[in-house]
Chain A
């Protein structure tokens, strides 16, 4: 069975640009969450979606937004990119909010 898939795997952008990251959850999983991981730290929660509705939001600025589609895939959008947005962005899916989350391999975003 396919796991969580994320695209692209790597991305280089410059300050001020915007970026869209994509995630396809494990088949049958209706909940998708996004995390940011900077070097040397654990992942930090950005958003959780379930059945296309936002269920939770972490402590990130409004430049970060997300959505979930009817097929349960999801996009994370980041506007007005800053150097500090350079990180590994991880997507995780689960069958429901109270089940273990399973992660994709992430998108490595570098801001120049």
Chain B
């Protein structure tokens, strides 16, 4: 039972253009969402998060959008740079008895072409 899904295993974008990564979830109890970037042989690096009380959060080139009715979130990267090439994971959580248990999607491999 995949509660968090990233349906695109890979995405290729030209340098300077916008990259849009998508994520869907099924559990309506999720109230906190995060995006992580992962390079080979490194752990996931936190990028940006959003609480369910918001529908948008920006941090520099990264913007996360949350559509609660559709149970969908997306990460926009503008402009895309070669260093953005990595695997991106979305994660969702709800606080259950004080524990933040992150549920991850399968990841999307983003390749930025020069």
Instruction: Report A's interface with B, CB cutoff 8 A.
Output: 4, 31, 33, 35, 40-45, 48, 50, 55-56, 58, 90, 92, 94, 97-98, 100-106
Are B97 and A56 within 8 A (Cβ)? Answer: yes
Residues of A within 8 A of B32 (CB): 98
Q: A40-B106, A42-B105, A43-B104 are in contact. Are A55 and B99 (CB under 8 A)?
A: yes
Do most interface residues of chain B lie in helix, strand or loop, or is the interface mixed? strand
Q: List 9 A-B contacts (CB under 8 A).
A: A42-B4, A42-B91, A42-B104, A48-B100, A56-B98, A97-B98, A103-B43, A103-B45, A106-B43
Q: A55-B98, A56-B97 are in contact. Are A105 and B41 (CB under 8 A)?
A: yes
Instruction: Report B's interface with A, CB cutoff 8 A.
Output: 4, 32, 34, 36, 41-46, 49, 89, 91, 95-107
Query: How far is B43's CA from A35's CA once the two chains are assembled, in angstroms?
Result: 11
Residues of B within 8 A of A58 (CB): 101
Given A42-B91, A48-B101, 5 extra CB contacts under 8 A: A33-B102, A43-B104, A45-B102, A97-B98, A106-B43
Are A56 and B96 within 8 A (Cβ)? Answer: yes
Are A90 and B44 within 8 A (Cβ)? Answer: yes
Query: How far is B43's CA from A58's CA once the two chains are assembled, in angstroms?
Result: 20
Query: How far is B95's CA from A50's CA once the two chains are assembled, in angstroms?
Result: 13
Query: How far is B96's CA from A92's CA once the two chains are assembled, in angstroms?
Result: 18
Are B43 and A55 within 8 A (Cβ)? Answer: no
Residues of A within 8 A of B43 (CB): 4, 90, 92, 103-106
Are A94 and B104 within 8 A (Cβ)? Answer: no
Q: Give the shortest distance, in Å, between A32 (CB) and chain B (any CB).
A: 12
Are A44 and B95 within 8 A (Cβ)? Answer: no
Are B107 and A42 within 8 A (Cβ)? Answer: yes
Residues of B within 8 A of A97 (CB): 95, 98-100
Contact of A48 among B46, B99, B105 (CB under 8 A): B99
